[in-house]
Amino acid sequence: MAASAAAVGAALLGGPVRAADTAPAADDTPPGVLSAELAWQHWTLNCQGCHRPDGSGSPATAPGLAGTVARFLSVAGGREYLGRVPGVATSPLSDADLSEVMNWMLWRFDREHVPANFQPFTAAEIGELRRRPLRLEASQVRAELLKKADESAGP
């Protein structure tokens, strides 16, 4: 299915589709995700426009995720931050769909920083976190959490 979708896309584009833009392989389904293809589609339609296909983000729009996003899981308050950042908390996705996108995104963009004991986000947890969205303080909270993550990682 994913391969056929990519093939059709490539045929319509008249050239190869960039790897980061293509739907994931069906067997690359991370924990806490029922359908990686559906999670990819939700990500593409709701998040990718600003965070960019490779998760690199941009200073002018949305912070980068690649190589960073799962680092929040290793510091106190980081997991809650991920469910409260404005882009997540105000997403039009349902709690269930959003929790799958979160789990897929951590796997897709920062697998190496996902802790071994990571428990996937659930719909109930995301539903609770997004009711308390961060607003203007989000960037400051982010900077403090990343500083803590740097300190705990050591030199």
Q: What angle do CA 105, 108, 110 make, to 5 degrees?
A: 90
By CB under 8 A, tell whether 64 contacts another protein: no
Taking CB under 8 A as the criterion, the residue among 16, 31, 49, 77 binding another protein is 49
Q: Residue 86 or 148: which CB sits closer to another protein?
A: 86
What kind and span of H or E run contains 95? Answer: helix 95-110
Q: Residue 60 or 76: which CB sits closer to another protein?
A: 60
By CB under 8 A, tell whether 19 contacts another protein: no
Q: Give least dist CB 16 to another protein, A.
A: 12
What kind and span of H or E run contains 127? Answer: helix 123-129
Taking CB under 8 A as the criterion, the residue among 31, 58, 77, 131 binding another protein is 58
Taking CB under 8 A as the criterion, the residue among 60, 76, 116, 136 binding another protein is 60
Distance CA 114, CA 6 (A): 28
Q: Give least dist CB 148 to another protein, A.
A: 28
* Residue 155 burial class via C-beta count within 10 angstroms: exposed 0-12, middle 13-18, buried 19 and up: exposed
